[in-house]
Structure 1
Amino acid sequence: MAMHLPTDTDDILHADEHLIQSFADLNDLKNKDALTVVTAAEGYYVTESNGNQLIDGIGGLWCVNVGHKRQEIIDAISRQLNTLDYYSTFYNFTHPTAAKLADKVAQLAPGDLNHVYFANSGSVANDSAIRILHHYNNRLGRPHKKKILSRIGAYHGSTHLSVAMTTPAYSKGWDSASELVHHIQCPHFWKEGGEMTEAEFLDSLVDDLEMNIHNIGAENIAAFIAEPVMGAGGVIMAPQGYHARMAKVCADNEIKYISDEVVTSFGRLGHFFASKEMFGITPDIITTAKGLTSGYQPLSATILSDEIYEVISRPGEVFLHGMTYSGHPAAAAAGLANIALMEQERIPEQVRHTGKVFENLLKTLDSLELVGEVRGSHFMIGIEFIKDKANKIPFAEQDMVGMKVAQAAQKRGLIARPLGNCLILSPPLILDEPIINTIYEILRDSIIEVSARI
């Protein structure tokens, strides 16, 4: 007998009393009026339980790249479940869908990143990268080479290890594996550059990396992990040439470079992977999730270079790492169908045009008095609100101007993500120019409204 879902808003909210939301003020959510109940979605719209349609300006959570309700992906998942609903890629088992997806991902990844470990979230992908590198160094007789360099402002996940690599603000009041991680300087020129030119600031960032390697000891450092564009830390773009210079310092010190492309891959910046195409590097490991299936199934990938794989696959030891749902058939089917859609409709190529239209139009919002900086690239934009624009005096953390603007935008029909005194946009990649203009008008009107109130 089928279990019927609640459809009335009050019934949904009553059932929701048992649900723990992620990254939420759980005390505030005891007031159920604070919740938005989403019951359906199609294209770049989601529908509330009261029937209102909202533009999904955050793509679910950076992930619904091809848009909602794409029948091609839904049918691929259904066909797979009717053929092979579940089997693991543990031990000596494989299946056609995971094997084909691994082959396709390896074809799309740059350089010699030819070996793919599947899991079910970006957090686990990054956790797996570190665990694999620790094992790699053990096999090379370097048991002390375990420390990880990350950055202030980074976001790498929410497991005990991945949140340690995330900027410390996300661990406030919580424990993590912080003894393994050292955070270096945030590469945000607008906020951190002071009186320096951007070139001087870049030099200072490289100096900071070299100083930290010297202080910790290269012999103790396994990896440096970096997002090509920082996401949940506020959509921060490093100075041009940053990643190439950081990668060279790492290579010179035998430190592996992990590119966290959980957000930036699969079209968000106009390419299947951004590391090489946009930032000129071929890292040792790429991690990805979100856009890999456009959120239709939970799936992530940790993509390893040939050199790393050859070490961890030497005879004599078992690869003692695995998840029950690694390479899940339905998730792999979603990934293959998602990539096929992107290739058939040339979505990454379209984003190189429409993403730039979105970026350039939203960057004109910096003419508003409340806006200190609009930053990011293509369909990945952050808007920073500031108390005193001329002197770059920020609002207090408790002012939560981002939330105020997000609430004003939602009343006008747009979901945007508040982050303290910032607002983040990461919509589906299928936006056309008319809806881009609508998003711009909603944001502009919402910012003007909040500016008048505060």
Structure 2
Amino acid sequence: MTVNANTPTDQEIAEWDRDHHLHPWAAVEGFGTDEYMRVNTADGIYLWDAEGKRYIDGPGGMWCAQIGYGRKEMADAIAAQVMEMPYASPWSFTTEPASVLARMIAERSPGDLNTVHFTTGGSTAVDTALRTAFFINNRLGRPEKKIVIGRERGYHGSTFLAATVTGKERFKTQFDKAEELVHFLPDVNPYHRPAGVSLEAWCDAKVEDLQKAIDVIGADRIAAFIAEPVLSSGGVIVPPPGYHKRTLEICRANDILYISDEVVTGFGRLGHWFASEEVFDIVPDMITCAKGLTSGYLPLGACIISDALMQRAAEAEGDDVFYNGYTYSGHPVSCTAAIKNIEIMEREDILGHVRKVTPLFQGRMREIKEKFDIVGDARGEGLLGCIECRPDLEKDTYSEKLKFGQKLDDACEKMGLLLRPFGNMAVFSPPLIITEEQIGDMFDIMEKGLEQISREYDA
């Protein structure tokens, strides 16, 4: 912030934020009273608060800070584009950044996913994918084929359709959803499988859940199956091996579109541009992405559509219009940021770096599981992980788990590590540039936090 005579004091900033800024997911009882940590500066994997204290950014912003903070060449590219062409209506014009970025995404997407529709973020990318599925079925004369199959613990966004297909079971909200459009499959988390059930048997059961749903609902009424390769906000849940490929095969056999929500896993989080094919051996009909697309420097999302699906839409009878888009679709400055982001990732081989340090990252989490009785599970893929604790609670409710998570978060925060607690779970998705030494620092603090919290809770 540039200092001048009108620069507000720290107290004024806190008051203005408290009195006028409605944050995402703010608790109603906290309106006008909650105060948030103010971060002033950032560099690499670190954030500094208003008092100058440094923190490791364990969550990587919101799963998005791939190339890290403080990239001057990113700032320069953004500034240059602002001066040259800050905005152009996507209804009337195209721009070089939008066209170049669309091509770059298509080149890195699996299979025949070559058509890119730009959105404002992950939620609008998911809305676009679902609306596209409905649009195509309407063009094919199948207006009844509209139900979407989602999964418990899946998270897909906050816009109306994205929230509708979000299955995080702890959500009890007064926000409306289109309940008639969605059917949720049971939890796929291998950690929650019954004792004595093998991973293979668990996979069989989870695949059967999909087939049973199709049998009951009817394939002629189901438009799409939407799935995160790794259920991220649900607790970094990695489905059992073979799950994605087998569910895709069932979708293909029943003419149900497969939407892979890669808003978190796309752009390097698992060591590849996209995880669908490289990690899970599937080529879906559509992929949604955002977050790591610009490394969080500017908002941008995209829905990537297969050639086969585009051809089906084009060959159907009728001269319809694809009535979907946003004022900021293909925003030239955001697209410039994404182009520069991809250039940096390729020049520095950040994808290769992720693959190189993943064994250390995942290994440290699993060592923590073995070291602490209070830890029930440690899981993840790439630089995406979750430590799930199992505190001995008198009341085993989500509210009590929230209290536990907050205590663990507070303990680590005092030692310079920011967590993203989900109840009794702590999630990690640090900037992809994190070094082996920094991974050690991060998990060293986590261990000290668990030592403190273990003394308070009996496992």
Instruction: Settle same-fold status: TM greater than 0.5.
Output: yes
Does residue 153 (structure 1) correspond to residue 144 (structure 2)? The answer is no
Q: Unaligned 5+ residue runs, structure 2?
A: none
Q: 1:377 Cα deviation (Å)?
A: 1.3
Which amino acid is the alignment partner of residue 258 of structure 1?
Answer: I
Identify if the C-alpha distance between structure 1 residues 275 and 121 changes in structure 2 by more than 3 Å, giving closer, same or farther: same
Q: 1:190-269 alignment to 2 at 5 Å?
A: 190-269=191-270
Q: How many residues align?
A: 448
Q: 1:356 Cα deviation (Å)?
A: 2.5
Equivalent residue of 2:128, what SS? helix
Does residue 318 (structure 1) correspond to residue 293 (structure 2)? The answer is no
Q: Which moved more, 1:34-43 or 1:117-126?
A: 34-43
Q: 1:387 Cα deviation (Å)?
A: 2.8
Which amino acid is the alignment partner of residue 232 of structure 1?
Answer: S
Percent of residue pairs identical: 40
Q: 1:451 Cα deviation (Å)?
A: 1.4
Which amino acid is the alignment partner of residue 189 of structure 2?
Answer: H
Whole-Å separation in 1 of the counterparts to 2:30 and 2:237: 29
Q: Retained in 1: the 8 A contact 2:266–2:275?
A: yes
Q: What is aligned with 2:415?
A: 412
Does residue 442 (structure 1) correspond to residue 445 (structure 2)? The answer is yes
Equivalent residue of 2:279, what SS? helix
Whole-Å separation in 2 of the counterparts to 1:243 and 1:318: 33
Q: Retained in 2: the 8 A contact 1:149–1:181?
A: yes
Whole-Å separation in 1 of the counterparts to 2:7 and 2:278: 46
Q: Which moved more, 1:399-408 or 1:80-89?
A: 399-408
Q: Which moved more, 1:120-129 or 1:92-101?
A: 92-101
Q: Which moved more, 1:269-278 or 1:303-312?
A: 303-312
User: Cα deviation per residue 1:168-208 (whole Å; 9 max; x = unaligned)?
Assistant: 43353321112101000221011134431111111111111
Q: 1:54-453 alignment to 2 at 5 Å?
A: 54-90=55-91, 92-167=92-167, 168-313=169-314, 316-367=319-370, 368-387=372-391, 395-399=396-400, 400=402, 401-453=404-456
Equivalent residue of 2:270, what SS? coil
Q: Retained in 2: the 8 A contact 1:7–1:49?
A: no
Q: 1:398 Cα deviation (Å)?
A: 2.0
Equivalent residue of 1:169, what SS? coil
Whole-Å separation in 2 of the counterparts to 1:345 and 1:139: 45
Q: Retained in 1: the 8 A contact 2:170–2:398?
A: no
Identify if the C-alpha distance between structure 1 residues 63 and 7 changes in structure 2 by more than 3 Å, giving closer, same or farther: farther
Q: Retained in 1: the 8 A contact 2:271–2:352?
A: yes
Equivalent residue of 1:249, what SS? helix
Whole-Å separation in 1 of the counterparts to 2:386 and 2:288: 22
Whole-Å separation in 1 of the counterparts to 2:3 and 2:243: 53
Q: What is aligned with 2:26?
A: 24
Whole-Å separation in 1 of the counterparts to 2:289 and 2:396: 34
Q: 1:7 Cα deviation (Å)?
A: 5.6
Identify if the C-alpha distance between structure 1 residues 274 and 181 changes in structure 2 by more than 3 Å, giving closer, same or farther: same
Whole-Å separation in 2 of the counterparts to 1:170 and 1:338: 34
Whole-Å separation in 1 of the counterparts to 2:289 and 2:161: 17
Identify if the C-alpha distance between structure 1 residues 331 and 394 changes in structure 2 by more than 3 Å, giving closer, same or farther: farther
Equivalent residue of 2:41, what SS? strand
User: Cα deviation per residue 1:106-132 (whole Å; 9 max; x = unaligned)?
Assistant: 000000000000011100000100001
Q: Unaligned 5+ residue runs, structure 1?
A: none
Whole-Å separation in 1 of the counterparts to 2:139 and 2:312: 7
Q: Retained in 2: the 8 A contact 1:113–1:285?
A: yes
Q: 1:450 Cα deviation (Å)?
A: 1.0
Whole-Å separation in 1 of the counterparts to 2:238 and 2:159: 25
Whole-Å separation in 1 of the counterparts to 2:30 and 2:139: 49
Whole-Å separation in 2 of the counterparts to 1:176 and 1:183: 14
Q: 1:8 Cα deviation (Å)?
A: 3.5
Whole-Å separation in 1 of the counterparts to 2:349 and 2:194: 38
Whole-Å separation in 2 of the counterparts to 1:68 and 1:28: 30
Identify if the C-alpha distance between structure 1 residues 333 and 420 changes in structure 2 by more than 3 Å, giving closer, same or farther: same
Q: 1:29 Cα deviation (Å)?
A: 6.2
Which amino acid is the alignment partner of residue 38 of structure 1?
Answer: V
Identify if the C-alpha distance between structure 1 residues 453 and 248 changes in structure 2 by more than 3 Å, giving closer, same or farther: same
Whole-Å separation in 1 of the counterparts to 2:329 and 2:72: 24
Which amino acid is the alignment partner of residue 298 of structure 2?
Answer: Q
TM (norm. structure 1) is 0.95
Q: 1:25 Cα deviation (Å)?
A: 2.2
Q: Retained in 2: the 8 A contact 1:66–1:428?
A: yes
User: Cα deviation per residue 1:381-439 (whole Å; 9 max; x = unaligned)?
Assistant: 111110359xxx99432222222111111100011101111111111001111111111
Whole-Å separation in 2 of the counterparts to 1:449 and 1:293: 37
User: Cα deviation per residue 1:314-369 (whole Å; 9 max; x = unaligned)?
Assistant: 56111111100000010000000000000000001110011221111122111201
Equivalent residue of 2:391, what SS? strand
Q: 1:69 Cα deviation (Å)?
A: 1.3
CA RMSD of aligned residues (A): 1.8
Equivalent residue of 1:78, what SS? helix
User: Cα deviation per residue 1:39-91 (whole Å; 9 max; x = unaligned)?
Assistant: 1111111110111111111111000110011112111111111110100221x
Q: Retained in 1: the 8 A contact 2:67–2:341?
A: yes
Q: Retained in 2: the 8 A contact 1:236–1:376?
A: yes
Q: Retained in 2: the 8 A contact 1:106–1:115?
A: yes
Q: 1:311 Cα deviation (Å)?
A: 3.2
Identify if the C-alpha distance between structure 1 residues 435 and 170 changes in structure 2 by more than 3 Å, giving closer, same or farther: same
Whole-Å separation in 1 of the counterparts to 2:445 and 2:32: 29
